[in-house]
Structure 1
Amino acid sequence: MAFSILGIDHVQLAAPKNSEGEARRFYGEVLGFKELTKPENLQKNGGCWFSGGTMELHIGIEEPFTPAKKAHPAIRVGNLQEFRRHLENNGVKTRDEQPLPDALRFYIEDPFGNRIEILERL
């Protein structure tokens, strides 16, 4: 085979029009992602881009907007319980999920209702 899959470059979640400020607060300030500068030719579309660890998360504007309730990104963290306390201290509701054989996890929703999994591999 002359090609190889190297990994996922980024995940995009949708958000409603004019929600960039709320996205920056949640993904940047609460979750701790670093905001990236979108390429100039894409800035007219709205939204914002973030990076954390080895992943990028793009927030794209979609009208009409419908949050992702089943499809979701899974964000891998170290010290899951400490991160959970941090989220809850910042008003983010968490809900438990069945553990995986090699991971602990819970779910949150972003301010727009998109489902996000938070997990720590054991």
Structure 2
Amino acid sequence: MHLHHVQIACPTGGEDVARQFFVQALGMTEVEKPPALAARGGVWFRAFDTAGSVTAEIHVSTEEPFTPARRAHPALVLESREALETTRSRLVDLGFEVDDTERHTFDGYERLHCRDGHGNRVELLAEAPSAR
């Protein structure tokens, strides 16, 4: 068994805000939804490794009424602490909320929590230098 994707929500019409977060800030790639699902709205994103294999997939669906996921969240592992810092800087530069208060509370990793433009929580992790 392995995880195929994680689904989060946004309000109807919130796809562009999701694109800014997942593409511009996190560096994921938008992928086309299957035709049978495209009419429902929403948008899908994938991350790939250097060989082109999918390493993460996030589906953003629309829902009304919308309530952001304040506690539940996807957790994405970045390839290095440097990548974590670069991504953190992009998030801040684009105006997204970043929380470093739990930076060293998960053994073997450095991490941060952030919020997409709709208030959904997302965790970003990288192996701590001492864990390698």
Matched, 1:57 2:37: no
The residue aligned with 1:106 is 112
Identify unmatched segments of 5+ residues in structure 2: 49-54
TM-score when normalising by structure 1: 0.89
Once residues 85 and 71 of structure 1 are traced to their aligned partners in structure 2, the CA distance between those partners, rounded to angstroms, is: 23
Alignment size in residue pairs: 117
Runs in 1 of length 4+ with deviation above 4 angstroms?
A: none
TM-score (ref. length: structure 2)? 0.83
Q: Distance in 2 between matches of 1:81 and 1:28?
A: 17
2:127 corresponding residue in structure 1: 121
* RMSD over equivalenced CA pairs, Å: 1.2
1:26-70 deviations in Å (ceiling 9; x for gaps): 211221110000000001110000001311100001111111011
| Alpha-carbon distance in 1 for matches of 2:90, 2:39 | 34
Offset of residue 99 of structure 1? 2.2
- Looking at structure 2, the residues matched to 39 and 101 of structure 1 have their Cα atoms a distance apart, in angstroms, of 39
Q: What corresponds to 2:71 in structure 1?
A: 70
C-alpha distance in structure 1 between counterparts of 2:16 and 2:90, whole Å: 21
User: What SS class does the counterpart of residue 66 from structure 1 fall into?
Assistant: coil
Query: Identity rate of aligned residues, in percent?
Result: 39
